[in-house]
Amino acid sequence: MPVPCPAVLIAAPASGQGKTTVACALARLHTRQGRRVRVFKCGPDFLDPYWLSLASGAPVHQLDLWMTGEADCARRLHDAAQAADLIIVEGVMGLFDGLPSAADLAQRFGLPVLAVIDASAMAGTFGALAWGLQHYREGLRFAGVLANRVASDSHAAMLEESLREPAQWLGALIRSNAMTLPERHLGLVMSDELGDAMQRLDAAADALATTPLGQMRGDDLQAWAVPFTAPDAQGFPSGALQSRTVAVARDAAFCFIYAANLDCLRELGAQLVFFSPLADKALPACDALWLPGGYPELHAETLGANSAMRASVAGHVRAGKPVWAECGGMMALFDELQTVDGASHAMWGVLPGSVTMQKRLAALGPQQLGLAGGTLRGHTFHYSTCATPLQPATHTEAAPGRKLRSGGEALYVSGSVRASYFHAWFASNPTAAAQLFLEQAS
């Protein structure tokens, strides 16, 4: 039985236009007005969800027709529709960028598209961009267009006049540092690193409240209503990790964690315990260890100086207990990490070799990893390279229809440790995900 709920996909002609700011502002505004808001992020992204979750007060999951899968997207949207008054999906890159794109997702589920355009250096061309985004693909629902980083009210008036369809005008946000979300090399700075994160969101919500978009109320939102249908139920190996405790590193250095991955481990039967490699002296009692990605390069000195944690991780490995380390988690396991300024820091020495930070991206894109239990989908996104005498057990492959610029990511296997730059989406193959936290057959 379809469940109707107002929903909107916030898109743009390119990255850096302000999609996250607008998505957060819209979520914060309606949450403050007492509505139940659920937000999703299109594509693989760890950082935007921190802000989106803070704005909405609810967990934020990813939607991607390939990585998470069409059925997974349908189930999450259907579940959200049953509990929400408004669903917001933040797009990725430009509306038609990627394979699949945000437009593909919007068209598959009938989501109306709200286009955010950085109008800081344009006037009449704003109308051309809005027209192109609306009409480039037939059958795409269009909610309207919002001008971002506008210089003044008179500038906003010129932008509005440039539209061929005046009804598509949803307002303008005047450029303001008060609602800027700061960035660094992997994306947005995490919300919990800033003491004024909520003030920034409130400033954005206050600004949005003065626009036609921000003045929409419950009845107005029904114009965005979408009927969401649940997919057929699929089998799930719910007891694969029953009675097993998985320790998960989670702090400022290890923060690239999909909320859905934690849910998947719990559905597999695992008990999760969290710890901080930066602050704690030992692992909690556990059967398996997950070291997710993050920013070990920003905390290399502290990580290297925590000799007690280093010894605890080494003891876990000597005991033959499983370790799954992805990207930043793998970086911490090597002997040495060299930062972009040339400084070298001793790491945990579980894997032989070193990692070196680069000023440019070393790899980016959707990939899949074949394991004994099946194939896991996910992606790669990193600025470092590694040099190690270890021979890869296997490599990731490109997503269907994509090509790898320089080969797939290596999967290193050393004793009970499995490590890779690859970030896995566990729900794409729960059986394979469970194998990462079980003892390997000798």
Q: Judge whether 327 counts as a catalytic residue.
A: yes
Helix axes 197-208, 19-32, angle to 10 degrees: 80
Looking at CATH, the fold of the domain delimited by 245-435 is given as Rossmann fold (3.40.50)
120-166 residue pLDDT tens = 999 999 999 999 999 999 999 999 999 999 999 999 999 999 999 99
Which residue in this structure is represented by tokens 């303008």?
172
pTM: 0.93
* 28 within 8 A of 202, measured Cβ to Cβ: yes
Q: Which of 42, 264, 327, 386 is catalytic?
A: 327
- Does this chain's domain 3-228 share its CATH topology with 245-435? yes
The secondary element (H helix, E strand) that includes residue 105 is helix 102-109
**Per-domain boundaries in the chain:** 3-228, 245-435
Condensed to tens digits (0 to 9), the pLDDT of residues 56-69 reads 999 999 999 999 99
Strand-pair partners of 419:
325, 412
Domain 3-228 class, CATH top level: alpha beta
**Strand, helix or coil for residue 378:** strand
pLDDT per position as a tens digit, 287-337: 999 999 999 999 999 999 999 999 999 999 999 999 999 999 999 999 999
Beta strands at 61-63 and 183-184: parallel, antiparallel or unpaired: unpaired
